Amino acid sequence: MTLQEYDYARESPSKLAASCLLLALIMKNLGGWTPTLEYYSGYRSQDLHPLVKRLNFLLTYQPYDKLKAVRTKYSHRVFFEVAKIAPMDMLKLEEKLSSC
């Protein structure tokens, strides 16, 4: 979804990917940012927190009529319907981020 948003073009692809992974780990209750992830990604959890919050906020947007392709594609069962996953409550996300 960030491919359609100009605000994310200035983020480094590796930081964007790491932030997406951290958000997914938190949303699915699979743990947090481990020392192994920190080592291989080069990012500390605290470095990713602002971007993780922005990504979660991005999930709350309703798609524009002309920009439905990505959301429609990832709403299909082939892609595990990840576009249908509800965003996290910002307070809960903040709480989870502070603990990892």
Q: CATH number of the domain that 44 lies in?
A: 1.10.472.10
Give the mean pLDDT of 7-31. Answer: 94
CA–centroid distance for 17 within its chain? 8
Share of the chain residues as helix, strand and coil, in percent rounded to the nearest 5? 65, 0, 35
pLDDT at 90: 93
* Number of separate domains in the chain: 1
| Cα(78)–Cα(37) distance, integer angstroms | 27
The pTM score is: 0.85
Range(s) of the domain holding residue 25: 2-99
pLDDT tens-digit map of 54-87: 999 988 876 666 667 888 888 899 998 888 888 9
CB 96 within 8 A of CB 32: yes
Give the mean pLDDT of 35-45. Answer: 97
